[in-house]
Chains A and B, each alone.
Chain A
Amino acid sequence: MISSTSETILSIEDLHASVEDQEILHGVNLVVKEGEIHAIMGRNGSGKSTLSKVIAGHPSYKVLSGSIQFKGIDILELEPEERARIGIFLGFQYPVEIPGVSNLEFLRVATNSRRKELLKSELDTFEFEDLVKERLKIVEMDPAFLERSVNEGFSGGEKKRNEILQMALLEPFISILDETDSGLDIDALRIVASGINRLSQPNSATILITHYQRLLNEITPDFVHIMADGKIIKTGNKELAIDLEKSGYDFIDKNSKEKEMAK
């Protein structure tokens, strides 16, 4: 779905960020255009999740330098809720359980916040129920989960489906899905992946953060980036993911050793 006239949705330049005074991102550069699917791979601790949290505006992460622009707007000044409303979606690696807060109510309030931004009318309880029932089909989720508290007692697979359901309701321009495939069995992975595929639009883009190539068998990325030590060190196409699956991350160590030697 990439075309030469595609607009840039997300543009990250030389991003340095820290958590608890420890610098994790050491200069990330990334440009994502409409219609594109990007995969970011890398070891634990390479900075993938940090990058996703920084984009979403998590208050524990501090941006030290660099910029993040969303459709030409500097988002670093925006609160997390403002970022979400203009169309940035973060699919959590570990969706948070919130006892006592009804999932249905949560989904409705979130959807209406986004609709307000898009100058669409807010949905009342009945209208929203119609919408959510239709969107449930995308992730083949049991409506019973709407009646429960947000993510409380959900299995790993159910939590991830609930994340994709939120994506389906919020219709973001960019979705950053942090290890959406972790903890899923083969069937659940297919359902979640097919949901993501169905939700991708010519005017939206997706960033998949993953450890494994198996998700990329279901969702074909246009670009594959490899992160190490808080930077994107290599970018390629789907083949890169396949190579990585075969040879592992050892080449990273080799590269960094060579760099050390060159110094």
Chain B
Amino acid sequence: MKSSTIYQEWLDSLPPTEGYLKNEQSIGRKFLLEKGMPSKKDEAWRLSNFSKLNNFLSLPTIIDKEDIKSIFPAKDANRERIIIHPNKNPLNINLPNGIEHLNKREIEDNLGKIVKSTNIKNDISVCLNQASSLELLALKVKRNFNQSLEIVIPSIEGKSISTRILLLIEEGAKLDLLQILTGNNNSAQNHLIEIKLESKVELTHGLISLGEEKDSSSICTLAVEQSEKSKYSLHSIHHGWDYARYEPRIIQREGEASTIIKGLQVTKSKEQIATHSLIRFEGPNGKLDQLQKAVASEYSHCIFNGSIEVPQKAQKTEAAQLSRNLLLSKRARIDTKPELEIVADDVRCTHGATVSQLQDEELFYLLSRGIDNKHANSLLLKGYYDEVISHLPKSAGKWNFIEKLMQDIKK
């Protein structure tokens, strides 16, 4: 079937616009109708595997209540868990002390604004979500509170789901947020989260995105707006998706904030996982430490596009971006592209990219101590992952992501 037909059929399959997201749904659908499918001509989609994107759009979007059957590891005692079921009103959930639902006005004032301010042309990932999300989880962490939260978004076998979150973190509050996205057989999920950090907020954000099952795909957009003196750290893992596209976008609204992003994407078989990041400084003295790691084996493909924008008003920005990649097979492919747009003259911005294989001398050192080849390779890979995964909360280990990352090692 032609891409344009699949696209049209996907749009036609959506239920009529309704509810409090009606306006958003209309905006998304209108855009998609006018722009059509992304193509190789769109720079941001140039390397995307369109047949995999077609699979994404070919799955039915209507979800019955019986569809949701997932078993999860027990939740932590000190971390409330929210499981997002699409099509189900998320108001009826337990919220920890200091976290509340946003009221209608707060939603109207903020929804869509953060992601829109990232100014991405032909923002297809976001419009696909806007067009199809029927419910919204909208929360705020109240001023000066310090809380932890786990948000789980499971995919549904044979279906395509769309989920959306809006999170406001009020001045001086601290949040330790762990987000888990999981795949299922022949499933697709599109997730959009917007987060606003008021001044002096500290947000530690772990994102564990595990495809696991056969033919699962994911499109995930994360838009974060940081006010001055806020600290945001994001550590993410993407693994096991046949097709995944991850777009973290962070705007330091006034500069004077600190951002740490460390991402790991691991592909095998014929998978394709892409990260398109954007960080923009709209004021002086902003700090960024970005590390993107990729490991590609067999016939798989990892993509990283890292944009950093430092306009004239963002003097004394200090930004460092590093893309480190491991190619574990001759047939695997890695594309990595830093894109630094620096207009301000008094800044310190560095970037670098490396593509290598596991180091022979490191391997020999381990072998020479009696450690067998397979175990030595797995120790080295674990060491390679460590820079990213060691920052995730310890309790995240119950999602077995380390075991899953290690499973792929071929002897």
Contacts and interface: CB of A to CB of B under 8 A. Distances in A.
Q: Do A and B come from one complex?
A: yes
B16 interface: no
Contacts of B241: none
Task: Identify the interface centre among B369, B375, B386: most chain A CB within 10 Å of its CB.
Answer: B369
Interface string B195-236: 000000000000000000000000000000000000000000
Given A81-B367, A92-B365, A98-B366, 16 more contacts: A79-B367, A80-B364, A80-B368, A81-B373, A83-B368, A84-B370, A99-B383, A99-B387, A100-B382, A100-B385, A100-B386, A100-B390, A101-B379, A106-B366, A110-B366, A150-B365
Contact of A99 (B373, B375, B386): B386
19 contacts: A57-B367, A57-B368, A58-B368, A60-B360, A81-B376, A84-B370, A92-B365, A92-B368, A96-B364, A96-B365, A98-B366, A98-B380, A100-B383, A101-B386, A106-B379, A109-B371, A110-B371, A113-B372, A149-B383
Interface in A160-201: 166, 170
B365 A81 contact: no
Interface in A81-124: 81, 83-85, 90, 92, 95-96, 98-101, 105-106, 109-110, 113-114, 117
Interface of B: 360-362, 364-373, 375-376, 379-380, 382-387, 390
Contacts of B371: 81, 106, 109-110, 113
Interface string A24-44: 000000000000000000000
B361 A96 contact: yes
B370 A170 contact: yes
A30 B368 CA distance: 21
B369 A170 contact: yes
Given A100-B387, A109-B379, A117 B369 contact: no
Contact of A98 (B370, B383, B387): B383
Nearest to A56: B368
Contacts of B370: 81, 84-85, 110, 113-114, 117, 170
Interface in A138-163: 149-150
Contacts of A60: 360
A166 B369 contact: yes
A87 to B, nearest CB: 9
Nearest to B384: A100
Interface size class of A (residues with CB under 8 A): 20 to 34
A149 B128 CA distance: 44
Contacts of B385: 100
Contacts of B367: 57, 79-81, 84
Contacts of A98: 362, 365-366, 379-380, 383
B382 A101 contact: yes
A90 B386 contact: no
Nearest to B386: A100
Contacts, number: 80
Contacts of A149: 383, 386
Contact of A96 (B362, B373, B379, B382): B362
B384 A95 contact: no
B328 to A, nearest CB: 16
A213 B257 CA distance: 58
A84 B368 contact: yes
Interface string A61-93: 000000000000000000111011100001010
Contacts of A109: 371, 375, 379
Task: Identify the interface centre among A79, A92, A106: most chain B CB within 10 Å of its CB.
Answer: A106
A192 B385 CA distance: 33
A45 to B, nearest CB: 20
Nearest to A101: B383
Contacts of B390: 100
B256 to A, nearest CB: 32
A51 to B, nearest CB: 15
Interface string A1-35: 00000000000000000000000000000000000
Can you list the 6 inter-chain pairs with the closest CB atoms, starting with the nearest?
Answer: A100-B383, A100-B386, A113-B370, A84-B370, A110-B369, A101-B383
Nearest to A83: B368
B365 A84 contact: no
Given A59-B360, A96-B362, A98-B362, A81 B372 contact: yes
Nearest to B372: A81
Task: Identify the interface centre among B368, B371, B387: most chain A CB within 10 Å of its CB.
Answer: B368
A101 B370 CA distance: 16
A259 to B, nearest CB: 36
A175 to B, nearest CB: 12
Given A81-B373, A113-B369, A170-B370, A58 B364 contact: yes
B257 to A, nearest CB: 28
Contacts of B375: 109
B251 to A, nearest CB: 31
B294 to A, nearest CB: 16
Contacts of A150: 365
A222 to B, nearest CB: 25
A101 B372 contact: no
Contacts of A79: 367, 373
Nearest to A85: B370
Interface string A46-60: 000000000011111
Contact of A106 (B360, B369, B386): B369
A162 to B, nearest CB: 11
Contacts of A84: 367-370
Nearest to A90: B368
